[in-house]
Chains A and B, each alone.
Chain A
Amino acid sequence: MGNTAVDIDLNKEIVSSFSGQDFSGAIDSRELALMHFQKLGLPTNKSEEYRFTPIGKNLSKNFTWKTVSTESTIGSIEPFLMEGVEASVVVLVNGIYSSKLSHIKHDKNEITVMSLTDAFKTHEAIVAQYFGKNLPTESDSFVAMNSAFWQSGVFIHVKENTNVEKPVLILHVNDAQNAQVNSQTRLLAIVEKNSSLSVIEKFESVGDNYVFHNFCEEIAVKENARLEYCKVQNDAGKSIQVANTVIHQSATSKVDTFTLTLDGEMVRNNLTIVIDGENCESHFHGLYLLKGNTLADNHTVVDHKKPNSFSNELYKGIMDGNAKGVFNGKIFVRPHAQKTNAFQSNRNILLSDSATVNTKPQLEIWADDVKCSHGCTSGQLDEEALFYLRSRGIPADTAKAMLLYAFALDVLAPVKNESLKTYLDKLISDRLHKNF
């Protein structure tokens, strides 16, 4: 089976909607991206990279393509904030940067946080240097689509030698109370030499209509800089989310990422870490706790281009109900990236008869003096441990929850911000106690 008629119709609809729109900025790159999209089309079930995640099919079935953003009646972001986490908040409503709802607490002399469309005018040089440079526009349909159609976005720039302590929370709110929402947003962040930044992203939607959120992010972490990145996907609406994140690391930089997926109809995260300098360190962790009909697909790539770096990946998943967990982890060690240490682990637990997991940990090594390993498992809870707990008087349900919580918890290690950690811990334990 190739493209169905419906897919093709949607592809055409998408392409033809391009003309006649009033895009601000980057018009050349948009046209080029549209050309790529035209060539690629939406992924079908034959596309190896989207084999288990039929986003194209889902969109064709449930979604009408519109790029004009719908009005929102949301007046307060209070219910969407993270309790106890002190941060500057940047809000995008239905894909559009909202200066009204955003609240930047940071010192402007250290860090710039603003709308990306504005940055195209005020920070022209730096935007030109980084925008669109590392994303796979030619090979990924959604990156091509986003690069053609992005409506709005966030620009973050941290000056050299600056330690930005408080995180920047990027809040994506989609209001689908009255109509479907199509959000195409971007993030461009640069952490200059010897600086540090912490970014948190959160996705929320309200209403019963479909939300399609296609998000592209580029983050450059320069020499000796640090990045902490945390993504929380806990959107219980009818949301189809695709995120393409590329983090580019220069020498001696350090990156910690954590991706938590709890809800959404179909969630696809493409996280790519390019290690383009020596002596870098990256830890990228993920946890997907799925139930109902949620499909969560994490595709990660760590690309070791230079020698002497270390990467460590740990993704864990627990699937209940009809949930589907998909994991694909690629480790590339390029020729001459000697003395690379790269580790990857993916562990899964299935809790129901109709939950599934598809995992593909992949190693591609072109250098000999390296230490690389990957492992993945799929199983149930350890019966022996369960019995041990029960024999000590703990009821089955509690024992199960305890073991699941223990299974999940070590994934939180890269999160350094204590209040954020507390918040995430609560989300995880609530989920595991309530439903299992």
Chain B
Amino acid sequence: MAKDNQVLEEITSKEYEHGWTVNLEADEAPKGLNEDIVRFISAKKNEPEWLLEWRLKAFRHWQKMEEPKWPNVHYPAINYQDIIYYSAPKKKKELTDLNEVDPELIKTFEKLGISLTEQKRLTGVAVDAVIDSVSVATTFKDKLAELGIVFCSFSEAVKEHPELIKKYLGSVVPMNDNYFAALNSAVFSDGSFCYIPKGVRCPMELSTYFRINAANTGQFERTLIVADEGSYVSYLEGCTAPMRDENQLHAAVVELYAMKDAEIKYSTVQNWYPGDKEGKGGIYNFVTKRGLCFGDHSKISWTQVETGSAITWKYPSCVLKGDYSMGEFYSVAVTNNYQQADTGTKMIHIGKNTKSRIVSKGISAGKSQNSYRGQVHVMKRATNARNFSQCDSLLMGDQCGAHTFPYIDVENQTARIEHEATTSKIGEDQIFYCLQRGIDEEAAVALIVNGYAKEVLNQLPMEFAVEAQKLLALTLEGSVG
């Protein structure tokens, strides 16, 4: 209740809130991509030989691959040689203490609403902040360390826990999985790593905040979360980028690995810069996210609120290998102006008695195109697999489009699969009812849209839910009436 009200009060600022650049002296690679750049990135990060080899192998695969053409999105060809593949905020020395972090950087985070300071501790969020692909500092490390939880930047993990990285890197998303995953594998600059030991229930929400800052930089971060037997973790990811006229590329990879009885909950609020009203600028968000329910009774749950990016290409998926494992996907994708989103999930049922649930709520406004693309695949030995999918689309205005592409492939007779989809609009009678009660049109739309998306928003941790609601309202501003 309280959060709803807050949302409504704060729908006042009109432009993209997070659109400012901070002057941080960047440590950049020259434009373009070749083996030398890959070596440069690896050297910058003092990586071991095996990781460099892994990157080079990915790069060679990538060179032979073709950019996928099947998504229902349209954009001018990307010149991969015109992108800066590495940009790190310059650091004067090793950071061991929050107080040593560049104050300007701290200011950046404060503007974003993530403070690395004590007040955040009260809310129980541990943050690993990634700015232009380099993890800056991680809070709560000590507290987590007591429980044996590893939560650090990817580069740090490479140094401190090479055995874990070596074992799990690319185990869920192989380096040659797809064009963008291969690109990421070759040039990823940093990201987050998290390991939850056996039987440990992570006592706080772990959080990463991504932000693309420098012009012409692509962000290629990589997240790897490993939940050992019987453990639990809830992970939050937030994304913003400053306003720029040109398009910026973001190709991240997220791998989740859940062992027996483990549970991983991964929530994203994606608010990359979507471009302006004429469709100029904005982030190309081509992300590969996949979770492997490796052990029996494991569970992976994806929740995403996608409001940003000029183009979104993203299918957080679950491979249900363990018997009785469970996958969930809850998504709200909002597009306005000239945004294009092609997003959904894959649920691959391999183990027996596996279950999956898909709830997707698309909202299109302006001249945007919003597509749900999902696959439910029940393999031959997946006896008693269950899936329920609900994909709803809401259209606002007659110049946008909503598209649904569900693939249902069943190879086992005991499977029970249900898919439902509807398309609707906000009823004029609903708006009038709100107006009559004194609620203005903008607030009425926010209220109705939040109601429509509630099933998904309910999945988010409290702090994120508030932000997500605000974003929905902001994204749809001016789209009605």
Q: Which residues of B contact A (CB under 8 A)?
A: 70, 378, 380, 393, 395-425
Does any Cβ of B come within 8 Å of A165's Cβ?
A: no
- Can you list, as one digit per residue, whether each of A364-376 has a CB less than 8 Å from chain B (1) or not (0)? 1111111111111
Does any Cβ of B come within 8 Å of A361's Cβ?
A: yes
Contact call B411/A356, Cβ cutoff below 8 A: yes
**In the complex, how many angstroms separate the beta carbon of A377 from the nearest chain B beta carbon?**
5
**In the complex, how many angstroms separate the beta carbon of B403 from the nearest chain A beta carbon?**
5
Q: Which of B70, B396, B417, B424 contacts A378 (CB 8 A)?
A: B417
**In the complex, how many angstroms separate the beta carbon of B131 from the nearest chain A beta carbon?**
39
Could you give 8 example pairs across A and B, Cβ below 8 Å? A336-B398, A348-B410, A350-B410, A361-B406, A374-B419, A374-B420, A376-B408, A378-B417
Nearest chain-B residue to A320 (Cβ)?
B413
Contact call A365/B402, Cβ cutoff below 8 A: yes
User: Complex formed: what's the CA distance from A368 to B367 in Å?
Assistant: 12
Contact call B396/A368, Cβ cutoff below 8 A: yes
- Can you list, as one digit per residue, whether each of A339-364 has a CB less than 8 Å from chain B (1) or not (0)? 00000000010111101111111111
Contact call B425/A368, Cβ cutoff below 8 A: yes
Does any Cβ of B come within 8 Å of A380's Cβ?
A: yes
B414 to chain A: which residues have CB within 8 Å?
380
Does any Cβ of B come within 8 Å of A107's Cβ?
A: no
Contact call B416/A380, Cβ cutoff below 8 A: yes
Does any Cβ of B come within 8 Å of A298's Cβ?
A: no
Known: A335-B398, A375-B419, A378-B416. A363 touches B403 (CB 8 A): yes
A366 to chain B: which residues have CB within 8 Å?
398, 400-401
Known: A369-B425, A378-B415. A359 touches B408 (CB 8 A): yes
Q: Which of A338, A358, A374 contacts B404 (CB 8 A)?
A: A374
Contact call B398/A368, Cβ cutoff below 8 A: yes
**In the complex, how many angstroms separate the beta carbon of A97 from the nearest chain B beta carbon?**
41
Does any Cβ of B come within 8 Å of A418's Cβ?
A: no
The main secondary structure of chain A at its interface with chain B is strand
Nearest chain-A residue to B418 (Cβ)?
A377
- Can you list, as one digit per residue, whether each of A317-348 has a CB less than 8 Å from chain B (1) or not (0)? 00000000000000000011010000000001
B419 to chain A: which residues have CB within 8 Å?
361, 374-377
A365 to chain B: which residues have CB within 8 Å?
393, 395, 401-403, 423
B395 to chain A: which residues have CB within 8 Å?
365, 367-368, 370
Most buried by A among B393, B399, B411: B411
**In the complex, how many angstroms separate the beta carbon of B206 from the nearest chain A beta carbon?**
37
Question: 4 closest A-B pairs (Cβ-Cβ)?
Answer: A350-B413, A368-B395, A363-B404, A372-B423
- Can you list, as one digit per residue, whether each of A29-50 has a CB less than 8 Å from chain B (1) or not (0)? 0000000000000000000100
Q: Which residues of A contact B (CB under 8 A)?
A: 48, 335-336, 338, 348, 350-353, 355-380
Q: Which of A48, A351, A362, A375 contacts B413 (CB 8 A)?
A: A351
B406 to chain A: which residues have CB within 8 Å?
360-362, 376
Contact call B415/A362, Cβ cutoff below 8 A: no
Nearest chain-A residue to B396 (Cβ)?
A368
A378 to chain B: which residues have CB within 8 Å?
378, 408, 410, 415-417
Contact call B413/A355, Cβ cutoff below 8 A: yes
Q: Which of B404, B409, B420 contacts A356 (CB 8 A)?
A: B409
Nearest chain-A residue to B392 (Cβ)?
A373
Nearest chain-A residue to B404 (Cβ)?
A363
User: Complex formed: what's the CA distance from A372 to B421 in Å?
Assistant: 8
User: Complex formed: what's the CA distance from A355 to B412 in Å?
Assistant: 7
Nearest chain-B residue to A362 (Cβ)?
B405
A355 to chain B: which residues have CB within 8 Å?
413
Contact call B413/A353, Cβ cutoff below 8 A: yes
A371 to chain B: which residues have CB within 8 Å?
423-424
**In the complex, how many angstroms separate the beta carbon of A26 from the nearest chain B beta carbon?**
35
User: Complex formed: what's the CA distance from A336 to B398 in Å?
Assistant: 7
**In the complex, how many angstroms separate the beta carbon of A313 from the nearest chain B beta carbon?**
13
**In the complex, how many angstroms separate the beta carbon of A409 from the nearest chain B beta carbon?**
21
B413 to chain A: which residues have CB within 8 Å?
350-353, 355, 380
A372 to chain B: which residues have CB within 8 Å?
422-423
User: Complex formed: what's the CA distance from A368 to B366 in Å?
Assistant: 11
A48 to chain B: which residues have CB within 8 Å?
70
Contact call A375/B421, Cβ cutoff below 8 A: yes
User: Complex formed: what's the CA distance from A375 to B391 in Å?
Assistant: 10
User: Complex formed: what's the CA distance from A128 to B420 in Å?
Assistant: 43
A364 to chain B: which residues have CB within 8 Å?
401-404
Q: Which of B398, B407, B411, B421 contacts A363 (CB 8 A)?
A: B421
B408 to chain A: which residues have CB within 8 Å?
357-360, 376, 378
**In the complex, how many angstroms separate the beta carbon of B427 from the nearest chain A beta carbon?**
10
Contact call B398/A375, Cβ cutoff below 8 A: no
Nearest chain-B residue to A327 (Cβ)?
B408
User: Complex formed: what's the CA distance from A236 to B407 in Å?
Assistant: 30
User: Complex formed: what's the CA distance from A359 to B378 in Å?
Assistant: 12
**In the complex, how many angstroms separate the beta carbon of B67 from the nearest chain A beta carbon?**
16
**In the complex, how many angstroms separate the beta carbon of A90 from the nearest chain B beta carbon?**
38
Contact call A379/B400, Cβ cutoff below 8 A: no
**In the complex, how many angstroms separate the beta carbon of A127 from the nearest chain B beta carbon?**
37
**In the complex, how many angstroms separate the beta carbon of B357 from the nearest chain A beta carbon?**
15
Contact call A373/B417, Cβ cutoff below 8 A: no
Contact call B423/A360, Cβ cutoff below 8 A: no
**In the complex, how many angstroms separate the beta carbon of A45 from the nearest chain B beta carbon?**
14
**In the complex, how many angstroms separate the beta carbon of B379 from the nearest chain A beta carbon?**
10
User: Complex formed: what's the CA distance from A358 to B411 in Å?
Assistant: 9
Known: A360-B406, A372-B422. A350 touches B416 (CB 8 A): no
A350 to chain B: which residues have CB within 8 Å?
410, 412-413, 415
Nearest chain-A residue to B377 (Cβ)?
A358
Contact call A373/B420, Cβ cutoff below 8 A: yes
User: Complex formed: what's the CA distance from A378 to B387 in Å?
Assistant: 10
Nearest chain-B residue to A372 (Cβ)?
B423
B409 to chain A: which residues have CB within 8 Å?
356-359
User: Complex formed: what's the CA distance from A360 to B400 in Å?
Assistant: 23
Nearest chain-B residue to A336 (Cβ)?
B398
Nearest chain-B residue to A52 (Cβ)?
B409
User: Complex formed: what's the CA distance from A378 to B413 in Å?
Assistant: 8
**In the complex, how many angstroms separate the beta carbon of B390 from the nearest chain A beta carbon?**
10
Contact call A377/B417, Cβ cutoff below 8 A: yes
**In the complex, how many angstroms separate the beta carbon of B10 from the nearest chain A beta carbon?**
27
A357 to chain B: which residues have CB within 8 Å?
408-410
A336 to chain B: which residues have CB within 8 Å?
398
Nearest chain-A residue to B385 (Cβ)?
A378
B424 to chain A: which residues have CB within 8 Å?
371
B420 to chain A: which residues have CB within 8 Å?
373-375
User: Complex formed: what's the CA distance from A427 to B50 in Å?
Assistant: 66
B423 to chain A: which residues have CB within 8 Å?
363, 365, 370-373
**In the complex, how many angstroms separate the beta carbon of A308 from the nearest chain B beta carbon?**
15
Contact call B402/A363, Cβ cutoff below 8 A: yes
User: Complex formed: what's the CA distance from A379 to B425 in Å?
Assistant: 32
B416 to chain A: which residues have CB within 8 Å?
377-380
User: Complex formed: what's the CA distance from A360 to B421 in Å?
Assistant: 12
Contact call B404/A362, Cβ cutoff below 8 A: yes
Nearest chain-B residue to A361 (Cβ)?
B406
**In the complex, how many angstroms separate the beta carbon of A305 from the nearest chain B beta carbon?**
15
**In the complex, how many angstroms separate the beta carbon of B340 from the nearest chain A beta carbon?**
14
B400 to chain A: which residues have CB within 8 Å?
366, 368
User: Complex formed: what's the CA distance from A360 to B406 in Å?
Assistant: 5
